[in-house]
Chains A and B, each alone.
Chain A
Amino acid sequence: MSERAGSLAMDEETDDMELDEDSQKDKFLTFRIGAEVYGMDIRHVTEIIGIQKITRIPDMPDYVVGVINLRGTVVPIINVRRRFGLPLKDYDTRTCIIVVNFNDTSVGLIVDEISEVVTITEDCMEPPPRVNRGPNSRFIQGLGKVNDEARIILDTHKILYDDESARSGGAETQ
């Protein structure tokens, strides 16, 4: 499966090389967590790798499970299941880490299985349902129609940063 993930990434690359950057605009990477399939904007995705040894970091929110060594760079890892408050599942051969990058900061997201890359144009995208679906609704960016099915599109940035007690900035004064 990680091969498939790798080849997906490659496909995406070749596509990009033919078209310009804007073509990434309506493309979404879909993946499965539990029984549900979600999607995220592919613009921030830099790579997809198989699961590897994670070093635990203390004093982190529970969904930040640790860091990995990605070719010499230390990348923090979020377990999306934990983020959604779902029970944990053991890692298997299909488990992948989606590495996203915001403002030069890379973070990895553990998902159960990578699905495919789909195109959802703006007219096929609807805003998130107003009916409150629980604490995870804040992560939802919208609902995209793919082949007559509705896919939940996640707001990657919110998954990383949105938190009731979020802190911004680093060191404190002494």
Chain B
Amino acid sequence: MSENDDNIEIIRDFVQESRDALENLEQAVIELGRNPGDTKSLNVIFRLFHSMKGTAGFLGFKNISSVTHAAESLLDMIRSGQMELIFPDHINLLIQAADFAKDALTELENTLDDKALSVKAEWLSSILHEALAKKPTAQVAGPKEAEPPIIAQKESPHTKPEEAMPPQKRIVADPLLGPEMLERFAQESDELLQKFEQDMLGWIKAPTDMDVVSEAFRNIHSFKGNCGFFGFEDLERLSHHMESLLNIIRSGGPVDHSSSAEALLSLKDTLRNSVADVSRGGGGRVNALEESLKLLKEISQGAKPAPGGALGGGRLGEILVAEGVVTKNDLSRALEAQSKPLGELLVDMGMASPDAVSKALIQQTKEKSSEEGKPKQGLIKRQDIRVDLEKLDSLITLIGELVIAENMMVNNPDLAGLSLENFNKAAKQTSKIVRELQELAMLVRMVPVSGLFRRMIRLVHDLSTKCGKKADLVLSGEETEVDKTIIEILTDPLVHMIRNSIDHGIENPHERALNGKPETGSVRLSASHEEGEVWIVVEDDGKGLNKGKILAKASKLGLIGEDVSELSDKEAFSLIFLPGFSTAEQVSDVSGRGVGMDVVKQNLDKINCKIDVFSRPGQGLKFTMRIPLTLAIIDGMLIRVGGSRYILPIMSIKESFCPKPSAITVSTDGQELVRVREEFIPVVRLHELHKITPDNENLAEGILIVLDTQSGALALFVDEILGQQQTVIKSLSKYISDVGRVRGVSGCTILGDGEVCLILDVGGIVEATHNQADMWAGAGAR
């Protein structure tokens, strides 16, 4: 295979596209496993293998094409009914073929060829062919060297109809056709339909021009082909009949020019709507398909049906006629005299009662909304572009630098004291633009978690079979977006947690039944945005954590010394994150070695993610991972305490004021409180926390800033408020966190004069001062 640049490009593209397609393939196969009669999944799988085979063949990758060809043949036999889908053998085979394809892609990426896979390919092809020859391979053993994943041949939980499962919030879009493929379909169809429209318009102007009719025929024909390929039956049928009509016209049949042109044009709109529906993830159904087909038939036989007749989105007049309120003649007369809305006219002419008209109007709006739904224009045009991540990173870093530089310019000490009206206007404008740039940059790197979540489906499927348990994965909040690097770092922890859930948490079906739980356990994976953080929750309904066991194991390992009974649930549970910790009695293949949770913790620390553990014995275990959204630029309030300056996130500031001495009291615990309207708010002296010498210690001579925290309001005592500015968050060097722990600080920034300034973390301040309960107990605020 000659490796000139073009080919390399093609190979790379092939790898990318196939990778995407393969993700959907796995899901489709699992779907198929659940519903063996699911022809749609079957077709999807078939097509995926088919196209892989095609490109592989074109590029000369014999191994890949032989395996995909065999898989495709098997699928063809099954879908054409010549062979029954044998579960679980065939499903296993397909999964193995998919895995092979994945390996092949990696191999291609590295070596631009698939020679290394010849042994595996041969073996896989041969068992696929065996299956084809109707010799069901009961034993799915691997070749001597390679070790393909084997799904245990235990009593399959899937062939029997499942008991009623809780409604699952799955992926909204048709999960089987990848969004990329749908995109391409939508874009191509759009082009074809546009051309078709032009042709029709051309034909209307020149009824004898048969060339344009042929063009139209060809465009509709290609469109029909695409629809068929993707399995959109309604669209295929409709376009087929349109094509037939065009054929009759082309060959000079007795077809009425205007009605056919009109019908075809309006049907083109129908097609376009359905395509838009597809690109949004719908099924591409066509409303009132049968009527449209009937209409086409009539026209092709030479009839001249009324304009817009049965084509849906009925106009008011038609509806009234259909309801028998007015006759067609009356309608035409009214239309000719039309200068008022039709309904009014008819009422005026005494041909229809106001009631009937309003009823018809209602029906019209209903039909319109169901027919048109969302705007047709522009939706199909959504285009993607692949971007090198490095470029993106550079872009974002640069934008961060831009904000700092802009700050340094606008807050430049040289400008202090000057009155610069025009300059200030221009500066404000620049700031606004920079701010928008920055927001956009953050959005650009955000990626929905759906990709990550969907990968877990296969994992759960494999694990549950392997461990002899029944478990279902329930996903929610997949459209939640998170920075791309976070997704990558989250993968391992998620896998670990799910492994643990299925291996240790969820009991086997028998035990579950005994405990009155449904036989199939559920693992719930959800993502959501909560006050500046992304929360990812992994929850199972298994047997939960056993506090006693954990404490026992911990003391056995020497991890805890003191009085064990004093540890709260929370503290006990957090022990599981220590290296080497595991209460599993047996080390299974899947987990139990005690290396899972501490690796999880390490990964999470990398992205500054906090993890909460919640469990009820016998009921289940819930991990909540809280990832701070790296909103790298915030609105900050610059304040001064003594000689030190700080930035307070404006988001947390409720108000600020100079307190009157009379408003300040001290609670019995010695906690200072300030009275704000009807509330008593605890006061925090920042200078005490950070050991600074303030201008003065008298609260009444300084400023109190009331902050909103998760646990309540607090009043921060500062010397001066210096102003507001956009703040680029920079993290304090890793060394700082290695050597100490700075309380109440979430990061730092570089001020306009080049100095470093700390950014206060309101939650951290609360933690750092008193025990939270104490602080508010005196205030009686809670």
By the criterion CB–CB under 8 Å, are B735 and A76 in contact? yes
Closest to A68 in B: B756
Q: Are A57 and B611 in contact (CB under 8 A)?
A: no
Question: Could you tell me which residues of chain A, from 16 to 66, have a CB within 8 Å of some CB in chain B?
Answer: 53, 55-61, 64, 66
- With a cutoff of 8 Å between Cβ atoms, the chain A residues found around residue B758 in the complex are 55, 57
Q: How far is the CA of A75 from the CA of B735 in the complex (A)?
A: 9
Q: How many residues from A make CB contacts under 8 Å with B?
A: 32
List A residues at the B interface (Cβ < 8 Å): 53, 55-61, 64, 66-69, 72-76, 105-107, 160-161, 163, 166-171, 173-174
B743 / chain A contacts, CB cutoff of 8 Å? 58-59
Q: B644 to chain A: which residues have CB within 8 Å?
A: 55-56
Q: Which of B570, B610, B736 meets A57, CB within 8 Å?
A: B736
Q: A57-B742, A72-B404 are in contact. Are A107 and B735 (CB under 8 A)?
A: yes
- Find chain A residues with CB under 8 A from B601 CB: 173
Chain A to chain B contacts (Cβ below 8 Å), 14 pairs: A53-B755, A58-B692, A60-B742, A64-B736, A64-B740, A69-B755, A69-B756, A74-B733, A74-B748, A107-B733, A167-B739, A173-B577, A173-B611, A174-B611
Contacting pair A57 B404 (CB below 8 A): no
Q: Which residue of A lies closest to B748 (CB)?
A: A74
Contacts A55-B748, A59-B690, A76-B736 supplied; 9 other A-B pairs, CB < 8 Å = A56-B644, A59-B741, A59-B743, A64-B739, A73-B730, A74-B748, A160-B735, A169-B605, A171-B605
Q: Name the contact of B733 in the complex, choosing from A53, A58, A76 (C-beta under 8 A).
A: A76
Interface residues on B, range: 35 or more
Q: Which B residues are within 8 Å of any A CB, using their own CB?
A: 401, 404, 570, 574, 577, 601, 605, 608, 610-612, 644, 689-692, 730-743, 745, 748, 750, 754-758
Say which residue of A56, A67, A163, A166 sits within 8 Å of B736 (CB atoms): A67
Neighbour of B739 across the interface among A58, A60, A171, A173, CB < 8 A: A60
In this complex, what residue of A is CB-closest to B405? A72
Contact A67 B742 (CB under 8 A): no
Closest chain B residue to A160, Cβ basis:
B735
The answer to whether A174 and B738 have CB atoms under 8 Å apart is: no
Interface centre among B601, B612, B741, B757 (most CB of A within 10 A): B741
- A65 CB to nearest chain B CB (Å): 12
Bound form: Cα–Cα A168–B690 in Å: 23
Q: Specify the main secondary structure of chain B where it touches its partner.
A: mixed
- Chain B residues with CB under 8 A of A64: 736, 739-740
Question: Known contacts A58-B742, A59-B743, A61-B740; is A105 also within 8 Å of B610 by CB?
Answer: no
CB distance from A83 to the nearest CB of B (A): 12
Residue of B nearest to A103 (CB): B734
Chain B nearest Cβ from A173, distance in angstroms? 4
Known: A59-B742, A60-B740, A171-B608. A105 touches B735 (CB 8 A): yes
In the bound complex, do residue B756 and residue A67 qualify as a contact, i.e. CB atoms below 8 Å apart? yes
Bound CA span A59–B688, Å: 12
* A167 contacts B750, C-beta separation under 8 Å: no
* Chain A positions within 8 Å of B745 at CB level: 57-58
* With A76-B736, A168-B738, A173-B577: A69-B605 Cβ-Cβ less than 8 Å: no
Residues from chain A with a CB closer than 8 A to the CB of B404 are 72
Q: Pick the most buried of A58, A68, A76, A170: most chain B CB atoms within 10 A of its CB.
A: A58
A56 to B736, CA, bound (A): 12
In the complex, A163 Cα to B611 Cα: how many Å?
A: 29
Does A58 contact B756, Cβ atoms closer than 8 Å? no
A58:B612 contact, CB within 8 angstroms: no
Centre residue among A66, A105, A107, A170 by max chain B CB count within 10 A: A170
Q: Which residues of B contact A170 (CB under 8 A)?
A: 605, 734, 737-738
Residue ID in chain A nearest B691 by CB atoms:
A58
Cβ–Cβ contact B742 & A74, under 8 A: no
- Residue numbers in A under 8 Å from B754 (CB-CB): 53, 69
Query: Which residues on the B side are within 8 Å of A171 (C-beta)?
Result: 605, 608, 610, 737
Cα(A121)–Cα(B269), bound, Å: 84
What is the bound-complex CA distance between A49 and B629, given in angstroms?
Answer: 35
Closest-CB distance, B711 to chain A (whole angstroms)? 14
Would B738 and A167 count as touching, CB distance under 8 A?
A: yes
Q: Is the CB of B732 within 8 A of A57?
A: yes
- The CB with the most chain B CB atoms within 10 A, among A68, A76, A161, A171, is that of A171
Residues in B whose Cβ lies below 8 Å from that of A67: 732-733, 736, 748, 756
Smallest CB separation, A148 vs chain B (Å): 37
Q: Which residues of chain A have C-beta atoms less than 8 A from B750's C-beta?
A: 69, 72, 74
Q: Give the residues in chain B near A73, CB-CB below 8 Å.
A: 730
Chain B residues with CB under 8 A of A72: 401, 404, 750
Determine if B736 and A75 form an interchain contact, defined as CB atoms under 8 angstroms apart.
Answer: no
What are the residues of chain A within 8 A of B574 when measuring CB–CB? 173-174
Q: How far is the CB of B757 from chain A (nearest CB, A)?
A: 7
Roughly how many angstroms separate A161 CA and B740 CA in the complex, as a whole number?
11
Report the nearest A residue to B606, measured CB to CB.
Answer: A170
**Which among B691, B692, B739, B755 is the interface contact of A163 at CB below 8 angstroms?**
B739
Nearest Cβ on chain A to B716's Cβ, whole angstroms: 15
Q: What chain B residues lie within 8 Å of A174 (beta carbons)?
A: 570, 574, 610-612
Q: How far is the CB of B559 from chain A (nearest CB, A)?
A: 13
Name the one of B690, B692, B732 contacting A74, with C-beta atoms under 8 angstroms. Answer: B732
Quick one: closest B residue to A55, CB to CB? Answer: B756
Smallest CB gap from B750: residue in A: A69
B690 surroundings in chain A (CB, below 8 A): 58-59
Contact in complex: B736, A58 (CB < 8 Å): no
- Chain A residue numbers with a CB within 8 Å of B401 are 72
Which residues of the other chain, B, contact A58 by a CB distance below 8 angstroms?
Answer: 689-692, 742-743, 745
B190 to chain A, nearest CB (A): 46
Alpha-carbon separation in the docked complex, A61 to B611 (Å): 28
Specify which chain A residues have a CB less than 8 angstroms from the CB of B755 in the assembled complex.
53, 55, 69
Q: Looking at the assembled complex, report how far the CB atom of B23 sits from the nearest CB atom of chain A, in whole angstroms.
A: 33
Q: Which residue of chain B is the closest to A171 with respect to CB atoms?
A: B605
A residues less than 8 Å from B730 (CB atoms): 73-74
In the complex, what residues of B have CB within 8 A of residue A106's CB? 733
Q: Is the CB of A105 within 8 A of B742?
A: no
Across the interface, name the chain A residue whose C-beta is closest to B733.
A76
Most buried by B among A68, A171, A173: A173
Minimum Cβ distance to chain B for residue A79 (Å)? 14
A163: B residues at CB distance < 8 A: 739
* Min CB–CB distance B604 → chain A (angstroms): 8
- Residues of B within 8 Å of A74, CB to CB, are 730-733, 748, 750, 756
CA A59 to CA B756, docked complex, whole Å = 16
Least CB distance from A144 to B in Å reads 27
With both beta carbons as reference points, the residue of chain B lying nearest to A75 in the complex is identified as: B733
Query: Distance in Å from the Cβ of A132 to the closest Cβ of chain B?
Result: 25
A39 CA / B453 CA spacing, docked (Å): 54
> For the complex, what is the distance from the CA of A107 to the CA of B730, rounded to whole Å?
16
CB distance from A76 to the nearest CB of B (A): 5
**Closest 8 pairs (CB-CB, A-B):** A58-B690, A55-B756, A173-B574, A170-B737, A59-B742, A60-B740, A76-B733, A76-B735
Point out the residues of chain A lying under 8 angstroms from B692, CB to CB: 58
Nearest CB of B to A77, in Å: 10
Residues of B within 8 A of A105 (CB): 733-735
Question: In this complex, what residue of B is CB-closest to A52?
Answer: B754
Report the Cα distance A130→B325, complex, angstroms. Answer: 113
The docked-state distance in angstroms from the alpha carbon of A166 to that of B401 is: 34
Q: In the bound complex, how far is the Cα of B608 from the Cα of A67, in angstroms?
A: 21
- Distance from B399 Cβ to chain A, minimum over Cβ atoms (Å): 13
Q: For residue B767, which residue of chain A has the nearest CB?
A: A174
Bound CA span A166–B745, Å: 20
A49 to B210, CA, bound (A): 82
CA distance A161 to B738 in the complex (A): 8
Q: Write the chain A residue with the least CB distance to B611.
A: A173
How distant is the Cα of A76 from the Cα of B404 in the complex, in angstroms?
Answer: 20
Q: How far is the CB of A86 from chain B (nearest CB, A)?
A: 20
Nearest-neighbour CB distance to chain A for B339, whole angstroms, equals 70
Residue of A whose beta carbon sits closest to that of B644: A56
How many whole Å from B560's CB to the nearest CB in chain A? 14
Which residues of A are found within 8 Å of B741, using beta-carbon distances?
Answer: 59, 167
The residue in chain B whose Cβ has the minimal distance to the Cβ of A53 is B755
Name the distance in Å between B510's Cβ and chain A's nearest Cβ. Answer: 35
